[in-house]
Amino acid sequence: MGEADAVGAREGELAAFGGAAHALVDGVVDHLAALPSRPVWRPLPDALRKQLFGLRLSEQPAVMEDLVATVLRDVLPHAMGNGHPAFFGWVKPPPSRAGVMASLAAAAMNPSVVCGDHADIHLERAVVRWLAELVGFPHAPGAGLLTGGGSAATIVCFAGARSRALAAVGDDVGRDGLAGAAQLIAYVPAEAHSCVRRALELLGLGSGVMRELPLGGGRLDATALRASIAADRASGALPALLVGSAGTVNAGAIDPLEALADVATAEGLWFHVDGAYGAFGVLDPAIAARYRGIEQADSLVLDPHKWLGVPVDAGCALVQRGDDLRDAFSLIAPYLRQDVDAPVGTFAEYGLEQTRPFRALKPWATIARTRTRRHRRPGRARERARA
């Protein structure tokens, strides 16, 4: 193909994209407009289920218009239903329109958000700070990152907790693994989300190290907890992690976070709070006081893709000390690009992923559209509620 042909082909492809993309955006707008007047959920027709399941690669590349037609006809109308105003499936919200819009731009940029001087990097740092500010969690640059969801964020946080606890007794889990290491113990509420247990299992600590927190009627029996910690220490184990929930799945309960923080501080444990959906409840002055203590957590998990309405996926791990994550995750191969002299380092040094999607644009757009500085100081709301 000559250069003129190549330029013509490129222009043709761009024109096809422009036409199809506009048609898709129009279709999405119509879909969202019509949604409230339709049933929340409609069973997938048998024929369509079979067709989708059995899709085969075609002989020829599809044209853009056909892709759009397929999406609008066969896919968009058959969603889970959580875009509907009458969907009451608890923590799965409709997507914010700003977030839907931002998803298109993020895909068009398609960066790997790890390091470098590009917009997505700085935007993720700002969004993580915004999230911390919204729920009243202290934040320093580097002390958090966006993840695929609350489960992934929990693994990130617990990896930090594991490294710190073992390093304190001279064990290097990165180098030596867990064989021969001290046995870490985790104190976990009975109602904790299953991702807590799964993270402990995946990190090689095992669910057998979980001790149930003595919580009754929403109160912590701190004496019983401290006795349990002392018994574990006496048996040679290493109490390491204390978990609280800021919004349990079944009852929506907020654990007594301040009392948990007090024990964690007194006993030198890593205090983790699962605020996946519930931490954003702190923005309501009527219940803000119940969240007192969240700001003392060593780590906090948030899920902007739950009550904030950010399109999936958008989870967030926040920590008091970014170095706790960096110590657990940093592994810099010679072929990886570095930010020389950057005090904070790359996102890959703080979590599981090397290639990272541009998650930040969706929460940025969603929060910028729905929140203002007025919403940002739950500490003040808590004070008002206490007064």
Among 40, 71, 249, 352, binds ligand PLP (CB under 6 A): 249
Phi-psi region of 340 (alpha: psi -120 to 50; beta: other; left: phi over 0): beta
Whichever of 154 and 320 has its CB closer to ligand PLP, that residue is 154
Q: Which amino acid is at 173?
A: V
Whichever of 309 and 345 has its CB closer to ligand PLP, that residue is 309
Token pair listed for 317: 């791990």
Least Cβ distance, residue 150 to ligand PLP (angstroms): 3
CA 185 – CA 344 distance, rounded (Å): 30
Quick check: 274 binds ligand PLP (CB under 6 A)? yes
Least Cβ distance, residue 350 to ligand PLP (angstroms): 18
Contact 346, 331 (CB under 8 A): no
Whichever of 238 and 260 has its CB closer to ligand PLP, that residue is 260
Least Cβ distance, residue 303 to ligand PLP (angstroms): 5
Task: Considering only the stretches 33-41, 145-153, 166-174, 346-354, report the one whose residues sit in contact with ligand PLP under the rule CB under 6 A.
Answer: 145-153
Least Cβ distance, residue 15 to ligand PLP (angstroms): 39
Among 93, 142, 150, 363, binds ligand PLP (CB under 6 A): 150
Quick check: 352 binds ligand PLP (CB under 6 A)? no
Least Cβ distance, residue 274 to ligand PLP (angstroms): 5
Contact 139, 132 (CB under 8 A): yes
Whichever of 139 and 272 has its CB closer to ligand PLP, that residue is 272
Contact 317, 301 (CB under 8 A): yes
Least Cβ distance, residue 195 to ligand PLP (angstroms): 5
Quick check: 193 binds ligand PLP (CB under 6 A)? yes
Contact 172, 180 (CB under 8 A): no
Which of 296, 209, 208 lies closest to 260 in space, CA to CA? 296
**Tokens 């008091």 appear where?**
320
Whichever of 174 and 252 has its CB closer to ligand PLP, that residue is 252
Task: Considering only the stretches 176-184, 197-205, 217-225, 271-279, report the one whose residues sit in contact with ligand PLP under the rule CB under 6 A.
Answer: 271-279
Whichever of 48 and 287 has its CB closer to ligand PLP, that residue is 287
Among 195, 199, 310, 361, binds ligand PLP (CB under 6 A): 195
Whichever of 277 and 347 has its CB closer to ligand PLP, that residue is 277
Question: Which residues from 278-307 bind ligand PLP, rule CB under 6 A?
Answer: 303
Contact 154, 199 (CB under 8 A): yes
CA atoms within a 13 Å half-sphere pointing along the CA-CB vector of 216? 6
Quick check: 257 binds ligand PLP (CB under 6 A)? no
Least Cβ distance, residue 280 to ligand PLP (angstroms): 12
Whichever of 151 and 296 has its CB closer to ligand PLP, that residue is 151
Please say whether the dihedral angle defined by the alpha carbons of residues 213, 146, 325 and 125, taken in this order, is positive or negative.
negative
Taking each helix axis from N to C end, the angle separating 361-370 and 119-135, rounded to the nearest 10 degrees, works out to 50
Residues in the interface with ligand PLP (CB under 6 A) total 13
Quick check: 232 binds ligand PLP (CB under 6 A)? no
Whether omega for the bond prior to residue 313 falls within 30 degrees of 0, making it cis, is: yes
- Report the chain's terminal Cα–Cα distance, integer Å: 76
Whichever of 189 and 345 has its CB closer to ligand PLP, that residue is 189
Question: What b/e string do you get for 41-79 counting C-beta neighbours within 10 Å, with b at 16 or more?
Answer: eeeeeeeeeeeeeeeeeeeeeeebeeebbebbeeebebe
Kindly write out the interface string for residues 83-112 of this chain, putting x where it contacts ligand PLP by CB under 6 A and - elsewhere. --------x---------------------
- The alpha-helical segments, DSSP class H, found in the chain are 3-34, 46-53, 64-70, 97-109, 119-135, 150-168, 173-176, 194-202, 222-234, 257-267, 322-329, 361-370, 378-386
Which of 122, 189, 146, 120 lies closest to 318 in space, CA to CA? 146
User: Which chain residues interact with ligand PLP by CB under 6 A?
Assistant: 91, 149-151, 193, 195, 247, 249, 274, 276-277, 303, 315
